[in-house]
Structures are given as structure tokens and as C-alpha cells.
Amino acid sequence: MASPLLEVRIQLPKILLSDIRHDKSGFEELTNLYAKAKEYTFETIQIDMNTTAWLDADMCSSFGAILYHVTSNLNNVDLVNLQPQVESILLKNRFLSHYGKKSIVDSWKTTIKYRHFDVKDGRSFAEYVESEFIDRDEVPKMSIGLKKKFKESIFEIFSNSVLHSKTKLGIFTCGQFFPKRNSLNFSISDLGIGIRTNIKESIGINLQADEAIVWATRGSNTTKKGEIPGGLGLKLLCEFIDLNGGRIQIVSENGYFCRENSSYRASQLLHPFPGTVVNIEIATHDDVSYTLSEEISPTDIF
């Protein structure tokens, strides 16, 4: 008599994801996801988003970086049980097109597209930042000279990701305009060695991860050598955010930094991020026109 067929069920690893907001709690949630997922190799990992009722779209930058890091460890990732509201925004900003789904039209034009840039794609990154972020109508008016410096500051974040973080996995960007909040958010993430490690390896200063971020935001501090200037990018962004009434957050390894209302707070996350994130929030109800204290020649650096 033939033996009955045995039904074999393979239990896939599953990680539950909660709300992802652009604040410390959101980064805690994402780094907790990474802490769990990084343990797997040669697996198909299900990211269960059944309880993700809200996801601030600019956080797709760090979310996408983490998922890419996990897949670089020879895993597959499936995003399952997405709530309709969350799925809609991730289709509009083209995040889900990286996971087998077709994007949909953003009729209200509130999204800044999710992109993954190779480290050699500096020119494409510059064009993307200009068209998707800096030239948006919601950005406060800037003089030509200040707009040039603002672009330089954003591009320096990209350059730092390439030169200092030594990432080989690329740079991840995304953003979102929130009309009800009067805010425009833009985020850049890399999968490099982190600010703390770079400072230690480059100039021998041993700091905690949060202390290292504070150090990096001071204009006179840089790990660049020779005649290449450095350190001014984050300083100018912080000064603009102070005047504008926005916010800038930086996460690197297990360090968290937030500057708003002309003051900052720094602390440590429970789990490290595998690189560095810079998240910029611009207040869009600001009707002030900005200029440099000493206007400069507006030649295009790109």
C-alpha cells in the first residue's frame, strides 16, 4: 500500500513592522528591523506591514537602504500585508517598483521620487536634487548665490557618502511634501562606515556615535585632507534650518542627532543603522526671501 504524501510547509522568516515616522521613533523601528534581518542569509524574509498604518515617505530612503543591505547578504525580501494608504504612497514615489510592483501617477505631485544612485552617479544625483527638491515651488525663495551654496551643501552629503563612508552599495534618496504640515522633507542615506568610524580612522579621535555627529556639524571640523574644503555643507544646512524654522536629523551607526529651534539634541539608538542618514525638513509656510551675507558669483558647480 502506497505511503500517504507528506505535506511540507516551509516557515519563512517574518518581521513585523510598525509605523515609520520621520523622528527618532521611526529610526528606532527601522534599525530594529535591520537588527533582526541582518542575521539571515540565503532566506526569503517577509516584512509584514499589517500594523504599518503610517509611513512618512521620506523615510523610504533609510528603509530602502536597509532592505538593499539585507538583500546584499544573499536574501530576498517580500513586503506583505501593506495597508492601502501606505501602498498608495509607495507606488506613487516609485519605491515599490524596486520590489516588483508598477508605479502609479502622483496626481498631486507631493512625492520626491525614491532613487538608488551608484557612487559614480554624481551628475545624475545633482540633476535629481535640482529638479525634484531645490526647484520645487514649496522651497522658500533664495538668491541665486544662496541657491548655489544650498546645492553645494546637498551635493557635499553625496560626496561624503562616496569619499568618507566608503560605501560600495550606493546612495538612497527620497522625499515628500506634506501640505497639511507645511513641510517639505528630503532624505539621503548611505551604507558606509559611519561618521564615528570615519573620524576615528582618519584623524584618530575616538567619539561616541552621537558625539561624532555633533562634531561633524561644526563648520571648522572636517576629516578631508589637503586643499579640499570640508565641513561647510552641514553647517550651512543647519544655519538655514535655524532661520527657516525647519528641522534636520542625522543618524549614523547608533547615533541620533536632531536640530530645530536653533538648538540640538543628540542621543543613541538601541540598534545601529548600517551607514548614515541625513533628513532635512523645510518649513514651507516661510515667506522670507533668503540671501548670503556676502553674495557670491552664481556659476554652476555642476
From first to last of its 302 residues, the chain has per-residue pLDDT tens of 555 565 656 788 999 999 999 999 999 999 999 999 999 999 999 999 999 999 999 999 999 999 999 999 999 999 999 999 999 999 999 999 999 999 999 999 999 999 999 999 999 999 999 999 999 999 999 999 999 999 999 999 998 888 878 888 999 999 999 999 999 999 999 999 999 999 999 999 999 999 999 999 986 666 555 443 345 478 899 999 999 999 999 999 999 999 999 999 999 999 999 999 999 999 999 999 999 876 644 444 43
CATH superfamily membership of 14-283: Histidine kinase-like ATPase, C-terminal domain (3.30.565.10)
Amino acid at position 141, single letter? K
Euclidean distance between CA atoms 272 and 197, whole angstroms: 13
The residue ranges of every structural domain in the chain are: 14-283
Distance CA 223, CA 244 (A): 28
Quick check: helix, strand or coil at residue 101? coil
Contacts of 32 (CB under 8 A, 6+ apart): 270, 271
* Residue type present at position 14: K
- CA angle 93-256-51, nearest 5°? 50
What pLDDT was estimated at residue 226? 44
| Residue 219 identity (one-letter amino acid) | G
